[in-house]
Amino acid sequence: MWIRDASATEIAAAIRAGEVTSRQVVRFHVDRLRAGSALTSVVADRYDAALDEADAVDARIAAGESPGGPLAGVPCTVKESIPVVGMPHTAGLASRRCIVTTDDALAVRRLRDAGAIVLGVTNTAELCLGIESTNSVHGRTRNPYDERRVSGGSSGGEGAAIGSGGSPFGLGGDTGGSIRIPSFYCGVFGHKPSPGLVPANESVPSLAGDAELDTLETLGPMARRATDLMPLLRILADDDGTRCGDVDSVDLAGLTVVVPTRSSFVRPMNRAVRDARDSAGRSLADVGADVRWQPMTAMRRVIASYLMELRRHAGMPVMSLFDSLSETPGRHLTPAVLRADSLQLRLAMIGDRIPELLPKPGRDLLDRFARDLKDEVFGAVGDGVMLHPPLPAPAPLHHGTLARPWLFGGAAMFNMLGMAVTEVPLGFDHRGLPVGVQVAAAPGNDHVTIAVAHHLESVFGGWVAPEDVTRA
């Protein structure tokens, strides 16, 4: 049972000490994923190969040799839109159904070099553009806390795999909340790194050939324990993690903590989500942080500004992404556009048309909105953090995002601003659905948001296995 609740670093230490074998750890998680196969979290597995790799780690330990890197023998999962050798690499597109990757992405190689064992690849929203992870290639992913509900997107398979207890950690991608939304819905930790820290240009789709020039797109860790986030980030990051900062150097006493009011959501925030956010703020105040609840009205206009920024960073209309991937409207795109789970795709198409629909004064106004947002957020946060839920309510029923395109704005704005953000689970509502909050900080302050996540995990408990959740 301890394996289910342990962090990846704890498991790695136990394997090195001979307290448990890598095979036992990998077998535990494989069995857990197989038992939860109805979730459709892992869409292509390498379980047999993973067990062979675990045996190799155990053999090295038995021979008195080094088992490998800091994650030697620890299993993980990877979002399917990120290349993993021998695994499908479709991003949910029918035209890529037969594509199998012949090499690992750099981030995946770094995890393997650290000794991690990949169990398989996980489901994603179509073209990674959606709050729900469903597509015509792999099907629909379900939430481990209520299978009638969404797991989030676009890294929804990762959220479900980790949230179910089937994986200690995973690798996701985030261009508009795609790590943090599934982490929120599935009750796990997720970190969107500062721009340029982790290379992301090998994923599908990619907005830039040079990740250091892009503020929107990044890869990052998702985990059931906050203590894994910084070790994983250091492994994934360029420059051997020297830019990641030191979590232990963060003093919460006196830290500025901004809790926005009247911000980015059109409708009232769900009470359980609001109460969890406020409780997080109070817990930081209890250790001496300078916590301020204040109106942040410029955040209300984030969606239009984000769409313009998405188009700007893509360097081409989002519809051209389909052309670049040999996707044809008659074959796949029209059903995607019509489905409720493709709201972000439809919003991106609207973003394509903004330049032609708006006269220049209107485009200038959107640019001004973006500047106002940047000034408001950075002016308030400084070297501190902001607490803001990525979404206004816990996981909705499948198709529950229909006609609510503003939902992801509370997450997407931090991509637009290039901020470091950690999603932190804060317990459950009366139905047993996870609630949580984003901790956002200025670029380069990843260690600050993760330090706050450590504190909040110690207070609220962090991830809880679905079978241990009490429901009203």
Mapped onto helix, strand or coil, the DSSP state of residue 393 is coil
Sheet holding 218-223, edge to edge: 42-45, 117-122, 75-79, 169-174, 218-223, 189-192, 420-428, 434-441, 385-388, 256-261, 290-295
Check: CB of residue 236 under 8 Å from CB of residue 198. Answer: yes
Check: CB of residue 203 under 8 Å from CB of residue 155. Answer: no
Catalytic residue at 194? Answer: no
Catalytic residue at 326? Answer: no
Check: CB of residue 3 under 8 Å from CB of residue 11. Answer: yes
332: DSSP letter: I
Alpha helix stretches (DSSP H) within 247-359: 271-286, 302-314, 319-324, 334-338, 343-357
CA distance 178 to 192: 9
Neighbour-count burial for 252-262, b at 16+ CB within 10 Å, e otherwise: beebbbbbbee
The β-bridge partners of 118 are 76
Angle, helices 409-416 vs 360-381, to 10°: value is 90
Q: What φ, ψ does residue 116 adopt, rounded to 5°?
A: -65, 150
Catalytic residue at 79? Answer: yes
Q: Which residue in 7, 81, 151, 154 is the catalytic one? A: 154
CB contact set of 410 (below 8 Å; sequence gap of 6+): 177, 263, 264, 265, 302, 388, 389, 390, 391, 392, 438
Q: Which residue in 22, 178, 263, 283 is the catalytic one? A: 178
Check: CB of residue 283 under 8 Å from CB of residue 389. Answer: no
Q: Which residue in 79, 151, 155, 305 is the catalytic one? A: 79
CA distance 463 to 469: 10
CA distance 341 to 400: 8
Catalytic residue numbers? 79, 154, 178
